[in-house]
Structure 1
């Protein structure tokens, strides 16, 4: 080779030859493994199945067989270029990082030899496992194939640590005393472009991505970026990585698919308290890019058909620059529970709450097990006024405030067999923070309630994939408290999401447990079975369930029992139509009599939601 130094000038994994005044790579790992290319294209897609908790990452790599066919390893020469490889020095390309030297020893039958492995500015290589992988190459002749294999070990180590954007190469050098220098260059982010967005500005998308030029790229950080930027339900952003215009850089295109950021919805169900009429309706809207600054505003109005219940609910979600969220929400409701004439009941309730939400980084426990954790802390102020009148004269007035601090953890675990979801909420009410936050005020609403308390509510949901498309859903929940609570904090039993087959709020208690087990059949499409038009898309899921629950308050006397137990067996149907309509219908047969009627029988729940 013309221009090859007699002192053995080595380069980019294999020999760098000088040809016509230009350096040409005879063979290079940069053209083989995806993690060693001058930046492979990586596609990150946020569209996930319902069981996934975080966006998945697809690398867009060819399969292993393709790589094997394209690998230059088979065409590399085994001719020794170094008589005996005595040591390896790994260093960050272009850096003057301090050296870290590690000694490894290899025993032979005749002698003990010491080999130096030096790591300069590459902490991801400073592991005993990596050093052991290098030992087979030491004290042996080294060829071009050897250089390639060592570079592949470096690449694999970085990929294992979540840093796939790099190249490992042997720079031009004079090899002395059998010591080989290998350079490692991590690619840095180059240009960042935004495309496809109609309703969200480039600035919003860029800021949400948290990507900056000259950043190094780690898979865990990219996964967190993807999860955060797709936290807004009105947009989907894919991150497309491709070779940068400048050497050693990776460019990214943030490809956006968004929709008009206003969602309007309505619902009709029988999930109201029986004293208020049972059947209610609601209308609401969500603005997903409020004021053009990526905030989310929501409002919902709910009214019972009897007119005895009216509620306004509003929320404001604010994403913070450091990737936390602030959620402010509140309610205002009026009610007039049914009562026998001449008694008339009325009540007014309100709530103002704030939550600070922090999302922890995704934790990969193993190759197919991951944890996503969201923490929150906040404060609730609630007020309730319950009055009873005889004709027009008040005979009982009740006023009470709830002032409590809240802590919560929302943990989702995904694995090969399904998903586990844990929700834990703890509340502390010190008492005495506002005028009606006193024991005397509490007595006017619930006789044995106290304003100073601590209570905890936990719910565990396990969804397991079964053979032939079946699945099981197990839900267990419990609540424990130091003192009896007002109705707003008590555990409810009855209705969808608790014990089906009973009216809503059939049982209330400061303490309680609930258990639900449901087996779901494989989903199917009724429209396809009936041959309905192509524009009609639906999904139906049938299931059979067993629900159980019991609630209680602290005994008011030693001779009375205050536990209320409910149990039911039933079937349910969940229908989704064109992603616009969601219908839930169930029938539960009571295994224990309803407390108010003393009868078993059955009851049907339904909830219809339509959104645009």
Structure 2
């Protein structure tokens, strides 16, 4: 039998030539239109016609020319159509006695089997019906009704190279959507005369796992976080989760690439690594301090990220106002990652501050102590590309002697203690053009847990405040990068709601960086707050690369913003129970390599219920690390 070959993405499909259009007759001449019997064809699902002669019981098969009109040639005939619901008489015609029959046996897809090479056998193929769609040994496709609907869309189409290539592309995309990115789809040698096709899906397995480029982390330090092993199928969601965990620390950056393995249908998984010695020193300056101390302040510290060879991280920093008398703080943090990919964070902060007033009689210094334990649990990403989510559970302990660092001027006669628990949900999804993230937190304090955790102690710090309370806060951030000059449009919505009176540490900030810019930091705090920010930013560009060489890259971004904030206290009475602030302005973000970054923001007040006499404010921050 004569064969022809169809190339299908590197594989060859062999089919019989009699499964494509051919003319049959004494001299293979095609009858003309005038010689044929004409009829109107009204059902577009028609695939072929049974033409049965009433004389001598002769019978031929033919395919219509066109989809809505056909020409037949034959004896006295009754025309039948092969529909999905059975044969149906649509027209009877008298036709002349033919000397030739036009036969077009081009196969149309009537049945389809998708399976794996391991499952496929010739016997299995012959045992299947010639109609219908079947999936075997591929449960990730079997369980999805979308797959069958997509494959059924090919039913009745002429089997051609174009259609086969389209099927291959569809199956590859469907497998990638099911988190199996490395597959090969091909058609084994088969006879497709009856319109039934078998497609085989070969899923690559891991041959070797390779780590390249690592200097300070050993190959085993990277591999111990990888769940895929040699011989396993490759699942993209598993690899993504592995990468996310490996890259969760700032001392290494890992990408994954795949290439064909040394054996057929295998793949090498290669982790390209850029790492650094896990010790950093850092420092910075800003004017984010509270006006009641000194706005201008600096900080310095260090971090080490691989204690005991277990990726434990310790971070210490010291912060102070420039005068070093109004405010200083010590901050210590210890992070512990667990093999089951949860994290425990422990932190402590001890700060000392006193109000910067002109009254020599008011020179009382106070210390605040804050302790925190936080446990993070990552959640399943539901197979959504670029999506991550997690929950955090934690406990806070705070002992307060004043509220100076939070914008107040109060030194307490007692030392109220805060003991509260919280739960936080974080979710984000990123694509090439969009970023969306949400954070929701609920905080509860039972009250009367420790000696100074009483209503009496809280009432001294703020009249009417109770040690038992509950409140919630949240933030939603969205951004979109347009094709128009790479402009990025973003919006941030921050909010907090509390029906109870809160101490200053628990109130939300309305004014300054991170809230309504153009106002001094930490000058307005309220129990319930809503702050909205709209921003338009240019793409990052380089200004001085030619002077820095290739090792250091500078980046500069300009932006304009519009901020609006509203705050409300739970007090039924009192001065300025509510406050409404609006501002607009511009700024720039900049950086050099991984070692230097900063921001400058200038805000102009539009609406000011503070009446502090200032109409604008410039804020800056500069960070350096090595």
Fold-level similarity (TM above 0.5): yes
Aligned residues: 526
Q: Specify which structure has the bigger relative contact order, considering alpha-carbon pairs within 8 angstroms and separated by 6 or more residues.
A: 1
Q: Does 1:512 align with 2:512?
A: no
Q: 1:496 to 1:246 in 2, by over 3 A?
A: same
Tell me by how many angstroms 1:212 deviates: 1.6
Aligned mate of 1:382, from 398, 405, 410: 398
| Mapping 1:292-311, distance limit 5 Å | 292-307=309-324, 308-311=326-329
TM-score (norm 1): 0.75
CA distance in 1, matches of 2:379, 2:614: 47
Aligned mate of 1:412, from 428, 432, 446: 428
| Mapping 1:7-18, distance limit 5 Å | none
CA distance in 2, matches of 1:475, 1:197: 38
TM-score (norm 2): 0.73
Indicate conservation of the 8 Å contact 1:80/1:143, yes or no. no
Number of the residue aligned with 1:125: 141
Indicate conservation of the 8 Å contact 2:130/2:195, yes or no. no
Tell me by how many angstroms 1:515 deviates: 2.1
Q: 1:436 to 1:182 in 2, by over 3 A?
A: same
Q: Does 1:480 align with 2:480?
A: no
CA distance in 2, matches of 1:261, 1:502: 38
Q: 1:534 to 1:400 in 2, by over 3 A?
A: same
CA distance in 1, matches of 2:158, 2:601: 74
CA distance in 2, matches of 1:512, 1:454: 15
Q: Does 1:79 align with 2:98?
A: no
CA distance in 1, matches of 2:412, 2:164: 89
Number of the residue aligned with 2:286: 269
Tell me by how many angstroms 1:176 deviates: 13
Tell me by how many angstroms 1:268 deviates: 1.0
Number of the residue aligned with 2:379: 360
Tell me by how many angstroms 1:470 deviates: 3.0
Q: 1:142 to 1:255 in 2, by over 3 A?
A: same
Indicate conservation of the 8 Å contact 2:113/2:197, yes or no. yes
Indicate conservation of the 8 Å contact 2:15/2:190, yes or no. no
Number of the residue aligned with 1:333: 351
Tell me by how many angstroms 1:96 deviates: 11
* Structural RMSD (CA): 3.9
* Alpha-carbon displacement from aligned partner over 1:183-221 (angstroms, at most 9, x marks no partner): 544222222122221111222201222222222112222
Number of the residue aligned with 2:225: 208
The unaligned stretches of length 5 or more in structure 2 are 21-104, 405-410
Indicate conservation of the 8 Å contact 1:226/1:237, yes or no. yes
CA distance in 1, matches of 2:279, 2:354: 33
Number of the residue aligned with 1:282: 299
Number of the residue aligned with 1:373: 389
CA distance in 1, matches of 2:16, 2:150: 20
Q: Does 1:260 align with 2:277?
A: yes
The unaligned stretches of length 5 or more in structure 1 are 5-13, 16-25, 33-71, 105-112, 389-394
Max Rg structure: 2
Tell me by how many angstroms 1:556 deviates: 4.7
Number of the residue aligned with 1:31: 10
Number of the residue aligned with 1:219: 236
Number of the residue aligned with 2:620: 606
* Alpha-carbon displacement from aligned partner over 1:498-551 (angstroms, at most 9, x marks no partner): 1222221111111122122233345444436xx746467432223332322232
Indicate conservation of the 8 Å contact 2:130/2:196, yes or no. no
Tell me by how many angstroms 1:476 deviates: 2.0
2:505 alignment partner, SS class: helix
Indicate conservation of the 8 Å contact 2:580/2:609, yes or no. no
Q: 1:550 to 1:184 in 2, by over 3 A?
A: closer
Q: 1:168 to 1:574 in 2, by over 3 A?
A: closer
1:211 alignment partner, SS class: coil
CA distance in 1, matches of 2:524, 2:161: 77
